Copies of this chain bind each other. A is one copy, B any other.
Amino acid sequence: MKPNDFNLSGFLPYKLAVLASRISKVLSTIYEERFGLSMPEWRVLVHVARCEKVSVRDIHNCVNLEKPRVSRAVAKMVEAGLLAKTASTRDQRLVEIELTEAGQRVLNDIIPEAMSFQARLMGAFSEDEASHFDDLIEQLHDELDKHANAPRRSSMDTNISD
C-alpha cells in the first residue's frame, strides 16, 4: 500500500481515540451539566468514595490523573464542600481526603446515572461479547506493557499504600 493511501479511519489508535472521546463527551454531560464537575473531579469523587482517607498520590496512581490535576480537583471540591482534607498524623507529608455528606449526596445521585449510561452503551452486547471485549482490551494493554516508553500501567485499584 502506498503511504498516501493510508486511511486514519481504519487505524486502531485513531479509532479508539475517537470512540473514547465521543463516549467521554456524552458521559461528561452527566456530571458536568448537572453537578458542575469536571472529568478529573468526577474521577476523584468516585475514587475517594470507594477508598476512604486517600492521599493525592493514591488518587494519582489509581485513576490515571497527573498529580497537579488531582491536587487542583481536590482543592476545588474542598472549596465546594464535597471533600474534606486533613493532614495525616502518621506522615505529615500525606493528606487524608474523604467525602463530606454533601459529597456523598452528589455521589448517590450520580452513580445510578453513570451506570445506566454504561448499560445503555452496552445494550446491544451479549454477555459473551462484553467479556470478549474486555479480553481484547486486556490484550492491548499487555502489548503496551512491552513498550519501554509506555507510561507503565498503573497498579489500578490495588490501593497499595495505607
Contact = CB atoms under 8 A, between A and B. Distances in A.
Interface residues of A, number: 68
A125 interface: yes
Contacts of A43: 8, 14
B151 A25 contact: yes
A12 interface: yes
Contact of A17 (B24, B104, B134): B24
Contacts of A144: 22-23, 26, 121
Interface in A33-70: 43, 46-47, 49-50, 62-64
Contacts of A47: 8
Contacts of A7: 50, 157
